[in-house]
Amino acid sequence: MVVSASSVRSSRSVGQWGWVCLVAGLAGVAAAIFMIVVDPAVGEDRYSYPLTPRGFTALQVFFAIHHVGLLAGLYGLWRSAALGTSRLGRWGAWGAIAGMALLTVTELVAIAGADSAYPSGRTDMLDSLYGVSSVLIGVTLIVAGIAVIRVGRWRGWRRLVPLLLGVYVFVPMTPALFGPFVLARLVIGGWMFGFAVLGWALVTAALHTDSDSIQW
């Protein structure tokens, strides 16, 4: 198989985005575990639970930065060969990028609720923003995931990753968010692990392209 130098450079770029997503996904898992094991500093009737408002603010800033790493993975998916020339798949990937960008902004906007009681009018608005951005990510990743399967550039476990990441938003994550705090954090941690897997899929797909190259 002959692969052009530009294609190889592109695949290596995708692999680099994949590494960023992999690290961000694992950091998200660690953050979810932290939220479970940290000693509560406030009651569950506070939006910042289990952290103080100051601790909540710091964590929200971390989440915003962290989501940029997840954006890198979604951008890598858009740049990868997995979507082929599928217009629907590329629209799906861009929709997921837009949804993650909205989620990133929401993490910062949520700082305004650090001192708020929960639930309240302000926190209801924030929950709505989280819901809209998450649903947008879920729907568009399902669209992109279907395109990945149809195109067939990714084989084996890789071809299912984008679709499963999208489905996960609706089952089990959305129902779990209405359940106990620990369950919600565990399921969110599982979603973050899914992004780590997406990152690894991008990395291994790029390595496969490099190994197939015989022309530079």
Tens of pLDDT, residues 9-46? 577 899 999 999 999 999 999 999 999 999 999 999 99
pLDDT given for residue 12 in this prediction? 83
pLDDT value of residue 4: 44
- The whole-angstrom separation of Cα 208 and Cα 39 is 45
Question: pTM for the full model?
Answer: 0.93
With a cut of 80, say whether residue 158 has pLDDT above it. Answer: yes
Q: Tell me, what's the pLDDT at 11?
A: 76
Let me know if 115 is exposed, middle or buried by CB neighbors in 10 A (0-12, 13-18, 19+).
middle
Joined tokens for residue 205: 């797909």
pLDDT, one tens digit per residue, over 78-126 is 999 899 998 999 999 999 999 999 999 999 999 999 999 999 999 999 9
| Closest by Cα among 165, 138, 135, 163 to 148 | 163
Instruction: Answer whether residue 155 shows pLDDT above 60.
Output: yes
pLDDT band at 1 (very low <50, low <70, confident <90, very high): very low
Mean pLDDT of the residues in the chain: 92
Quick one: DSSP state of residue 170?
A: I
180 or 215, higher pLDDT: 180
Mean pLDDT of all residues in 49-54? 98
Please name each of the domains of the chain with its CATH number.
5-212 (1.20.1070)
Determine which helix (DSSP H) or strand (DSSP E) holds 20, and give its type and residue range.
helix 5-37
